[in-house]
Structure 1
Amino acid sequence: MKKIKVLVFIVSLILFTSCVSRKKMVYFQESEQVGGSDNSKGNVANFEPVIQNDDMLFIQVSDLEADAVTHFNLQSSQSVTDAAGINAGSNNTYAAQKQTYLVDNIGNIDFPVLGSISVGNLSVTKVKELLREKLTVYLKNPIVNVRIVNFKVSVLGEVNKPGTVSIVSQRVTLPEALAMSGDLTIYARRDNVLLIRDVQGVKTYNRIDLTNSNIVDSPFYYLDQNDVIYVEPRKVKLNSTAISSNITTVISIVSFLITTTLILTK
């Protein structure tokens, strides 16, 4: 009887435990920080997301002559912070709805006086420059404020809080988005994270290794609007899931075999 119990314990231990190496679990391995050197590339450090179809843009025009900008704002005298809906209150939410512009399915917005303007695949900075250039025909020194108010990414798979993550700022990194989702679970594959990105209407599928410190130089380190991140489970999770789904059957078989063995050995 004692030998049978030991055998069952050993089998269970083999089935439900596994040894995981440091290489598979630790982020940003072999990072170089001696002397505080900065290894980031300029094009990554200056990353700015591009505007996509269905984005909601907050746009506010101001000028030294306040009366001159009346016709270029859907809702005037509202601060950027309030109109973006960051502060609480129904009035601010209403102002955000009045002040925002929807990017249509061909990348255009309808702007007062100026008419239809193509902003799709442009950065916020480029849109500011474009609007400022068009407004100089009507205003002496126009100041244009633009921001994306519905910036979000989706995080799925082996994270503690999967779902859609809303971003208040104008850009977010992959590690930040994962942190907002409660970080990866112990069953997550850190060396093969999938990032699905829309590039000018075409879906691209990109694999990212979070254990490699060179990720900070990757074009996927900063996220675009509507990026989808999928964290794949490790093999041990898939195996344990398969075992768990049949655990009742396994226990019944083991119990039957133990009972039969006890009867035969009496």
Structure 2
Amino acid sequence: MSNHNFEKETAQARYTGLKIKEGDILEIVVSAFDEIAVKPFNLSTVTSTNITEEESSGTVNIASRYTVSSDGFVVFPVLGKLYCLGMTKLQLKEDIEHRLKVYLTDPIVDIRLVNLNINLIGEVKSPGTKTSTNERINLFQALALAGDMTDAADRTNVKLIRYSEESKKDSVVTLDFSDASIVNSPYYYLQQNDIIYVEPDRNKQIAANNTNPNRTLFWQLITVAVSIAALLVRFTR
């Protein structure tokens, strides 16, 4: 059996960056050497007198939050409407910094997605929509948000459903959580509104049904509930 350095393999897993989508909430903070000149470019700037000894007389910029509109824009102070649909954070950062150079010297823009939504259904302990404030979330971290898989789960046959803005349809891939190479998968890091469906282990179902015939009806009801949940998630997107 080969040994795997999970920390190294995880670090090497492909991560191309999230594409900004409608409804995303972006935290955008502008900073520059001139603290006075930068104030108009942050939605919320407050003065505090009781922070820390180091900051007791300073000005603190509260992270400004912007919601991406249905037509792909955010409305930014001074700069106005900025189109960002389909852009990565880096692309939007560079665009805003370029525009700010008309007003500021060496502006720095920090952007963070604060509402990454992942839908976990099927054989997980706490199914439903989970929101992560960490935009770089991987499969195992998402699974942890749902309390891990149930004992009846098939860890070798997990479906990841991802909607494509380009093709306007879903793509479905099958993932094996028992395979160490999953950390090298291009699907290892999740994107906004991904759906993870953990299928039941059919062999465990058969064994359980042989022990208790009433479990056949139980699994039929579970299948119907999962199907309804998947439809609700899709229509509320």
Aligned partner of 2:142 in structure 1 is: 177
- Deviation of 1:193 after TM superposition, in Å, equals 0.7
Task: After superposition, give the CA deviation of every residue in 1:206-253 in whole Å (9 maximum; x if it has no partner).
Answer: 211112222111111111121111101111455446921579xxxxxx
* Percent sequence identity over aligned pairs: 36
Given that 1:41 and 1:217 are in contact with CA atoms closer than 8 Å, whether structure 2 keeps it comes out as no
Structure 2: gaps spanning 5 or more residues: 49-61, 218-237
Aligned partner of 1:70 in structure 2 is: 39
Q: Distance in 2 between matches of 1:214 and 1:245?
A: 35
Instruction: Give the SS at the match of 1:154.
Output: strand
Q: Distance in 2 between matches of 1:73 and 1:244?
A: 61
Q: Distance in 2 between matches of 1:195 and 1:164?
A: 14
TM-score, length of structure 1 as denominator length: 0.66
Higher strand share: 2
| Aligned residues between the structures | 199
Task: After superposition, give the CA deviation of every residue in 1:139-168 in whole Å (9 maximum; x if it has no partner).
Answer: 112111211111121111101111222212
Higher helix share: 1
Instruction: Give the SS at the match of 1:127.
Output: helix
Instruction: Give the SS at the match of 2:200.
Output: coil
Q: Is the counterpart of residue 210 in structure 1 residue 180 in structure 2?
A: no
Higher relative contact order (CA 8 A, sep 6+): 1
RMSD: 2.8
Instruction: Give the SS at the match of 2:81.
Output: strand
Q: Distance in 1 between matches of 2:115 and 2:47?
A: 18
After the TM superposition, which segments of 4 or more aligned residues of structure 1 sit over 6 Å from their partners?
A: none
Instruction: Give the SS at the match of 1:76.
Output: strand
Structure 1: gaps spanning 5 or more residues: 1-29, 80-94, 248-266
Task: After superposition, give the CA deviation of every residue in 1:53-99 in whole Å (9 maximum; x if it has no partner).
Answer: 110111111222122123212112489xxxxxxxxxxxxxxx67xx3
Q: Is the counterpart of residue 53 in structure 1 residue 18 in structure 2?
A: no
Task: After superposition, give the CA deviation of every residue in 1:150-200 in whole Å (9 maximum; x if it has no partner).
Answer: 112111110111122221222111011112211111211111111111222
TM-score, length of structure 2 as denominator length: 0.73
Q: Distance in 2 between matches of 1:78 and 1:157?
A: 48
Which of the pair has more CA radius of gyration?
Answer: 1
